[in-house]
Structure 1
Amino acid sequence: MIIQIVSVFAVVAVFSLLLEVPRHFVPYSALVGTAAWGIYLLIANNGGSSLEAAFLSTLMVALLSHILARLKKAPVTVFLVSGILPAVPGAAIYRCVYYLIQDEMGLSMSYLVETLQIAGAIAMAIFIMDSLFRLFLLYQSRRLRDKS
């Protein structure tokens, strides 16, 4: 598990560089991705499905991305895009295409459905956390305005 965590840090850091994330934000992006993979492993290794693991790890990525964006005065996407890399259903997409080429339509469709479910879970997690963060900021600004 330690090897996986270190590997994910390196992979997400390199992916961040490929996405042209400013160099001083790369370690933070890599930490976000590493946290996502750690949560994904924790859930998946304790009986959770890949759908649950992707959803909950992406919630954490979105939360950390919003927090780091405020602390480092950077766009949320700097941390979010590279941070969700570990949750992306690459193996399911590969298997979907593999079984499609092998003319195994049943297996191909099964992996296609899994891929779409995980992609939807990732999108929903980002949407939910973004909405909650906006509500929190709105509440905070109104509270400060009412105090004045």
Structure 2
Amino acid sequence: MIIQVFSAFWAIALFSILTDTPKKFLPYAAFSGAFAWWAYLVINELTHSTLQAAFFSILAVAFLSHILARIKKAPVTVFLIAGILPSVPGAGIYRTVYYLIQGDQALSMYYLVVTLHTAGAIALAIFITDSVVNLVHLYHEGSHARRN
């Protein structure tokens, strides 16, 4: 697991360089990706469900991205894009097309459904995190307005 997390760190660091992430944010973006992959591996080991692992790891990395964005005064997407990258269902998309080309409709549909579920779980986790963060900000702003 350590080798996988270390590899994820460097893969995301190199991806971040390719996508012109500012140099001062590279280690944090790489950490975000490594953290996401570590969380995915741990949750998958506990639940034996790639769907739950994708959802909860992205939920955690989305919160981490918001925290890093506040600390580093950067857009959330700098850390979020790097963080979700390890969980993107690229292999599922590949298998969907591969079995479609091979003429195996059943396996193609199976991988399509799994891929769409994973993509939906990722989107839902990001939506939930952003909603919670927005509610906290609204509550925090409201408490300041009442004091003044």
Q: TM-score, normalised by structure 1?
A: 0.97
Which consecutive unaligned segments of at least 5 residues does structure 1 have?
none
Shift of 1:94: 1.3
Q: Distance in 2 between matches of 1:28 and 1:75?
A: 12
In the alignment, is residue 104 of structure 1 matched against residue 110 of structure 2? Answer: no
C-alpha RMSD of matched pairs (Å): 0.9
In the alignment, is residue 125 of structure 1 matched against residue 143 of structure 2? Answer: no
Q: Distance in 2 between matches of 1:143 and 1:35?
A: 33
Shift of 1:48: 3.0
Shift of 1:6: 0.4
In the alignment, is residue 61 of structure 1 matched against residue 61 of structure 2? Answer: yes
In the alignment, is residue 141 of structure 1 matched against residue 137 of structure 2? Answer: no
Matches within 5 A, 1:28-47: 28-47=28-47
Corresponding letter in the other structure for 1:101: I
Corresponding letter in the other structure for 2:66: H
SS in 2 for 1:74: coil
SS in 2 for 1:46: helix
Give per-residue Cα distances to partners, 1:3-33, cap 9 Å, x unaligned.
Answer: 1010000001111111111011010011111
Q: Where in structure 1 do 4 or more consecutive aligned residues deviate above 2 Å?
A: none
Q: Distance in 1 between matches of 2:19 and 2:59?
A: 21
Corresponding letter in the other structure for 1:72: K
Q: TM-score, normalised by structure 2?
A: 0.97
How many percent identity over aligned positions?
A: 57
Q: Distance in 1 between matches of 2:28 and 2:2?
A: 19
Q: Distance in 1 between matches of 2:121 and 2:48?
A: 14
Shift of 1:36: 0.7
Shift of 1:84: 0.3
